[in-house]
Amino acid sequence: MALTATSITGAVAQGATTIKLTSATGAAVGMLAIVDGETMLISDVSLTPVVGVVRGYNGTVATAHATLAPTIFGLTTDFSTPTGGPFVTLSTDQTLAWPTVDTTFYITKAGVCAITQSAPAADLKTVCTFISLTANAHTIDYAAGYYADTTSSNLATFAAKNGASATFVAKSGKLDVVTLANVTIG
């Protein structure tokens, strides 16, 4: 798919979670939208041309935008300038090998997605973020145990909320928790 150039049809406040586009034809959940240099992750297209967005994505700053601000949207792979590490969509239950580069995983399965995470190689120091784009209680099972606790801390459970997220870092062959948003470890 190619990038689509459009604009927003009304002013957007700094804290807004939706934007109305002049044209949203082809927009889909998991795509990126860039407005005035702010990257947004498209999280809902059920009311197009109004789209739900995660603001201030990939380290950009969520700011207010004026009516008719230029907007470009498309797949992450459509942007020639990298907007962060690799992006992977998880739409089925699966077992993941820990990546060798920092990676963002978007969980898009319509029902609960059950992910099993293998232990990272001892020499890896990569960071991975898992973001739910559906309102389901997804799980990530890590048998080696978060916090090095194999008996009571081996399951990350997402609240049934769009945007729930968890970030982990590999250290010495184990996974450490960096941040949790609407995710519990137990």
Q: Tell me: the pLDDT tens digits for 133-186? A: 788 999 999 988 887 777 778 899 999 988 788 999 998 889 999 999 999 998
Top-confidence residue, 49 or 133: 49
Number of Cβ within 10 Å of residue 175's Cβ equals 24
Count how many domains the chain has.
2
Last residue within a domain, chosen from 48, 78, 108: 78
Q: Are residues 63 and 116 in the same domain?
A: no
Q: 3-class DSSP state for residue 117?
A: strand
Nearest CA to 94 among 144, 147, 138, 41? 138
- Domain end point (choices 30, 48, 78): 78
Q: Which domain holds residue 120?
A: 87-185
CB neighbour list of residue 54: distance below 8 Å, 6 or more residues apart: 17, 40, 41, 43, 131, 163
Residues 43 and 133 occupy one common structural domain: no
Q: Is the pLDDT of residue 82 over 70?
A: no
3-state secondary structure of 147: helix
Q: How would residue 85 be classed by pLDDT, with cut points 50, 70 and 90?
A: low
Q: What does pLDDT average to over the chain?
A: 86
Residue 52, pLDDT > 90, answer yes
Tell me, yes or no, whether 100 and 174 share the same domain: yes
Q: What is the pTM of this model?
A: 0.58
Domain end point (choices 34, 53, 78): 78
